[in-house]
Amino acid sequence: MLTCSQFVHIRKFTDDVQEPRGQYSDLLVGDFRRTTLLLWLIWFTVACVYYGIVLSQSEILERGGVCAGNQ
C-alpha cells in the first residue's frame, strides 16, 4: 500500500510528463482526410435535414399529416 508521500511523489512524476497533443490540422493530413471530410459532410447533411423537418413540422400537423402543395 502506498503512503501519502509516495503517492504525491508518483503523482508529481506523472504530471511532469506531457504527451504531445494533436492539432486540428492533423485531421486533414494522410489517412484522416477522407474520414474527416466524410464526417463533416454527414454532419452538415443531417443538420440540414433536421432543420427542414423541424421547420415543416407545424405545416405537416396543420394539414393532418399531409405535406404537399396547394390542396
Convert the pLDDT of each residue in 9-64 to its tens digit: 555 555 556 778 888 898 899 989 999 999 999 999 999 999 998 888 888 788 77
Q: What pLDDT is recorded for position 7? A: 59
Q: Does 20 reside within a domain? A: no
Q: What pLDDT is recorded for position 47? A: 97
Q: Does 46 reside within a domain? A: yes
Q: What is the 3-state secondary structure (H, E, C) of 23-57?
A: CHHHHHCCCHHHHHHHHHHHHHHHHHHHHHHHHHH
Grid coordinates given for 51? 432543420
Q: What pLDDT is recorded for position 46? A: 98
Q: What residues make up the domain containing 36?
A: 32-64
Q: What pLDDT is recorded for position 15? A: 57
Q: Does 1 reside within a domain? A: no
Q: Does 47 reside within a domain? A: yes
Categorize the per-residue pLDDT at 66 as very low, low, confident or very high, splitting at 50, 70 and 90.
Answer: low
Domain count within the chain: 1
